[in-house]
Structure 1
């Protein structure tokens, strides 16, 4: 039975994730459509439970009247049928309704409903641009996904469960009390008005604080995660105390929102309790007065006082549910600002699948400024023949890595176009484009998974033999055999830690190179691919790198000019423009920028001068 209800709602909807709409109701509905039928069922069962519970108080009043006035002889014959119906409702009707209500909530909704939102948010964010993630803490993004998905569930379920229950309960309660004497219902009506006024005054203020608190919590989590992610840098500079102060600043901001919230809670709770006390006093006093004047029966008094005491307890629960609702609404509104941001780089409608059989690349009057007025790439045109090996040379900020990122379509061009085998990459799907390009970067980041998983990331369907062969070509088998993680997994099964922190820079680089060997894409990009390797290891895999380049179009970036001197052609960039092109020998003989860089090398590296006019750090 439980399993049947658990399978009623698919937590992983298949359709491609879409940008959620702006606006609180539309945003929540975007993630609630699949769960809507079960939310309605939950509301219906909640209404039935509330009516049943009010009827129990009515039964209590009837029983009191019967027992106080009826003759014991023949009582069951006269009232047996009504008592049987009461017993059936108490023993069968209400328990079954509560069981169905609880099963819908706990088996169908509580787990699956937020997972639908979490799944869609995660898939949508994975398709965000590099700019988005460059501007956000990874920990902050993850926290927003978790908080917002749970807050949507709590907000919608409270509205369709708690408030349906409360609304129906109050209507049934006032109707029942008024049926005895309408004047007895007046204190209840007054209580509802005062209670609603208190909620209306306090809760929006609590909601505003909750939004500040959610943002402060995300910022605090982001700062803490940032310290852990860069723990080696923290220790290298002996800045544990500085990181403590950095985290404490955000903790203080979070704590300030908590103090503001708790002050409001104390005032609200005290006001509600006073309102409840006045209600119980007035109802009891009026009931006694009406009884003394023969207006109401003892049973009616039992009903109205019992309901008043029930309200006294319910009001505290309602208060927390309402404040929780608005707190969650604040969290949803805070998360909506991030989740509803449109993607910067998107595939066109009916985008084609790119096929790169030859690997010809054409940069045609490309212009890109990272949104600035000038700089980075200016009207650049470059043709790369199929199978040609190109080396990009230039000082930091010249635009080398930016050019590579534009080919990968991490950013949209401001003008111009880039063609691969005559196909405009702006008209192709991003996935099909990147499937044709193998990349090894200077700053290699590995997934916190096994060595096997990291190598197979280049081609997930690869066989074990192919993974081992790729590791051998990258000269990585020897060190992989000696790996063992904290739980005893060895070799290819060993996990590498977050971003590959358990491995040296050279080991991470060799796994990254093995990954690209396995991918075997027709276009290869090497962005300082051997910079983290010592000379002996670099020499050992250099031959295999040239084997990898065979029959591929290659774009290589290196400050160590000796690593790209053997390329078919070198292209020298300066301030986003091509200033020289030719072979190593031709450029050295030409006496231009490349010749100057070659002659100024120390230990094989370019003497890098910071370029004040360069693009942002991300450009290089």
Structure 2
């Protein structure tokens, strides 16, 4: 039974990807469509349960009148069937309705609903551009995804529950009291107006403080996660006091919102208690007065007092539910600002799969600059042209900030161009899908971060269908077999099954680099980008891996970036970039003979190690790779 209701909703819907709308109602509906029919069924069942409870109060009033008026001897003969009906409603009908309502609410909706939100939001976050994550805390983004999904569920379910309970109970109370004595309706109407006034005063204030609290909570979490993610740096600089102060500043900001919320809560509780007490006193006084004048029966008094007591307790619940509703709405609206952003880099509607039969790359009249918060752009390229022939191995050299890594990022389409185009085998990469583009490019970066998964999963990331034999071969060729066999994690998993920690923190830089190289060896893409691929390796391991990288380069189009020129000197062509322009291009010996920037850098590097005369090099501008 439980499993049937649990399987009524698929928590991982396959609806088409798309940016969630920014409007509050449309945003909530975007994540609610898969459970919308069940939400309506839940409301219907809640209304039936509420109506049954109101009917029970009506029966209790009638029972008091029967007991007052009837003789004991003939009581069962006169009212037996009515009592049986009341018993059937209380013992059978109400529990069955409650069971069905609970199964729909708890089994079908409660767990699946927020998971739908997390799943769809996470899918959208994975499509966000690289620049998005450069501007956001990972902890802040993840908390927004988790908080917003829960807040959507709470917002919708609270709203539907409140509408049902307010309509059924309040309307039922008015109906029952109005039938007995119309004057008994007056205190309820006055109470309802006072109740609306309290909500009008307090709820907007609670909503505002809740939005501020959600943002403060996300900022606090982001700072804490940032500290944990960079714990090695914190310990290296022995500055835990500064980190404590950094986190405490966010915590104090959060506590300001907590205190504001609790002050409102105290005032709200006192105001509501006073209003409910006045309602109870007014109804009791009017009911007793009406009984004294023989206008109503004892049953009516019993029903009136019971209903008022029920409304009194429910009003407290309802008001806090309304406050919670607006608190959740504040969390949803805060989440919209993060989740409902359009990705900066998107596939065109008519994007096609990239095909790479040859591997020619052409950069034509590139214009690109990084946007800054002040609206000013930082120009990197302004008309750069570069053609790389199929199978050609090209090394990029230049100062830091010259644009080498930016060129690689543009080839991978982590950013969109302002002008010009990039072609792979005559296909503009702006017109192909990003996934197909990146499937055809293998890249090893200087700052290698691994997923907090097993070594095998990290290596197989380059080729999910790869066999064990292919994984072992990639490990061997990357010279990672020398340490993988000795790896053991905290749960006793060994070798390829050992987990590497967040971003690969359990491994040294050289070990992470070798796993990254094994991953790209396994991927075996036709285009290879090496951005300081061997920078974290010692000379002996680097020399061994260079042989494998040269073998891997065979038949591939290669772009290599390196500080140590000896690692790329044997490539087919070297391109020197300075201030976003190509200032030199040619083979190693040709550039040395030309005596330009490349020759100056080569002499400086080799002079530092070989004792050569560096006076010529010192006369040239210093270069970083």
Structure-1-length-normalised TM-score: 0.97
- CA distances 1:355-380 after superposition (whole Å, capped 9, x unpaired): 11211101111110113545211101
Aligned match of 1:333: 333
Aligned match of 1:268: 268
Aligned match of 1:548: 552
Aligned match of 2:105: 105
1:399 counterpart = 2:403: yes
Aligned match of 1:409: 413
Is 1:396–1:609's contact at 8 Å kept on the other side of the alignment? Answer: no
Aligned match of 2:121: 121
Aligned match of 2:94: 94
Q: 1:313 to 1:364 in 2, by over 3 A?
A: same
Is 2:452–2:504's contact at 8 Å kept on the other side of the alignment? Answer: yes
Cα drift, residue 82 of structure 1: 1.6
Secondary structure in structure 2 of the residue aligned to 1:370: strand
- CA distances 1:18-69 after superposition (whole Å, capped 9, x unpaired): 1111211111011111111000001101111111111111111100000011
Aligned match of 1:375: 379
Is 1:396–1:610's contact at 8 Å kept on the other side of the alignment? Answer: no
CA distance in structure 2 between the partners assigned to 1:504 and 1:335 by the alignment: 37
Aligned match of 2:613: none
Secondary structure in structure 2 of the residue aligned to 1:31: helix
CA distance in structure 2 between the partners assigned to 1:130 and 1:432 by the alignment: 17
- CA distances 1:439-474 after superposition (whole Å, capped 9, x unpaired): 000000000000000000000111111111100000
Cα drift, residue 111 of structure 1: 0.8
- CA distances 1:127-182 after superposition (whole Å, capped 9, x unpaired): 00011000000000000000000000000011112331232111111111111101
Is 1:390–1:570's contact at 8 Å kept on the other side of the alignment? Answer: yes
Aligned match of 2:234: 234
Is 2:601–2:622's contact at 8 Å kept on the other side of the alignment? Answer: no
Given the alignment, which residue of 410, 426, 432 partners 1:428? Answer: 432
Secondary structure in structure 1 of the residue aligned to 2:34: coil
CA distance in structure 2 between the partners assigned to 1:603 and 1:84 by the alignment: 102
Is 1:49–1:165's contact at 8 Å kept on the other side of the alignment? Answer: no
CA distance in structure 1 between the partners assigned to 2:184 and 2:165 by the alignment: 23
Q: Which moved more, 1:83-92 or 1:162-171?
A: 162-171
CA distance in structure 2 between the partners assigned to 1:448 and 1:374 by the alignment: 35
Cα drift, residue 334 of structure 1: 0.3
Aligned match of 1:573: 577
Structure-2-length-normalised TM-score: 0.96
Cα drift, residue 603 of structure 1: 5.1
CA distance in structure 2 between the partners assigned to 1:44 and 1:304 by the alignment: 26
Secondary structure in structure 2 of the residue aligned to 1:264: helix
CA distance in structure 2 between the partners assigned to 1:505 and 1:153 by the alignment: 44
1:558 counterpart = 2:562: yes
Secondary structure in structure 1 of the residue aligned to 2:423: strand
Q: 1:260 to 1:145 in 2, by over 3 A?
A: same
Aligned match of 2:30: 30
Aligned match of 2:324: 324
1:219 counterpart = 2:219: yes
Aligned match of 2:462: 458
Q: Which moved more, 1:110-119 or 1:371-380?
A: 371-380
Aligned match of 1:585: 589
Is 1:234–1:240's contact at 8 Å kept on the other side of the alignment? Answer: yes
Cα drift, residue 284 of structure 1: 1.0
Aligned match of 1:77: 77
Secondary structure in structure 1 of the residue aligned to 2:18: coil
CA distance in structure 2 between the partners assigned to 1:450 and 1:559 by the alignment: 31
Aligned match of 1:355: 355
Given the alignment, which residue of 505, 509, 512 partners 1:505? Answer: 509
Cα drift, residue 73 of structure 1: 2.1
Aligned match of 2:442: 438
Equivalenced residues, count: 613
1:132 counterpart = 2:132: yes
Aligned match of 2:188: 188
CA distance in structure 1 between the partners assigned to 2:581 and 2:398 by the alignment: 10
CA distance in structure 2 between the partners assigned to 1:206 and 1:163 by the alignment: 20
Q: 1:586 to 1:609 in 2, by over 3 A?
A: closer
Secondary structure in structure 2 of the residue aligned to 1:33: helix
Cα drift, residue 609 of structure 1: 8.2
CA distance in structure 2 between the partners assigned to 1:435 and 1:277 by the alignment: 69
Is 2:597–2:621's contact at 8 Å kept on the other side of the alignment? Answer: no
Gaps of 5+ in 2: 611-616
Q: Which moved more, 1:165-174 or 1:235-244?
A: 165-174
CA distance in structure 1 between the partners assigned to 2:367 and 2:246 by the alignment: 39
Cα drift, residue 16 of structure 1: 2.8
CA distance in structure 1 between the partners assigned to 2:185 and 2:166 by the alignment: 17
- CA distances 1:536-565 after superposition (whole Å, capped 9, x unpaired): 111121111111111111000001111110
Aligned match of 1:597: 601
CA distance in structure 1 between the partners assigned to 2:106 and 2:487 by the alignment: 44
CA distance in structure 2 between the partners assigned to 1:34 and 1:609 by the alignment: 63
Aligned match of 1:617: none
Aligned match of 1:538: 542
Is 1:50–1:166's contact at 8 Å kept on the other side of the alignment? Answer: no
CA distance in structure 2 between the partners assigned to 1:512 and 1:173 by the alignment: 70
Is 1:129–1:345's contact at 8 Å kept on the other side of the alignment? Answer: yes
Q: Which moved more, 1:154-163 or 1:300-309?
A: 154-163
Cα drift, residue 71 of structure 1: 1.4
1:485 counterpart = 2:489: yes
- CA distances 1:496-524 after superposition (whole Å, capped 9, x unpaired): 00000000000000000000000000000
CA distance in structure 2 between the partners assigned to 1:473 and 1:6 by the alignment: 49
CA distance in structure 2 between the partners assigned to 1:331 and 1:407 by the alignment: 38
1:388 counterpart = 2:392: yes
Q: Which moved more, 1:498-507 or 1:305-314?
A: 305-314
Aligned match of 1:301: 301
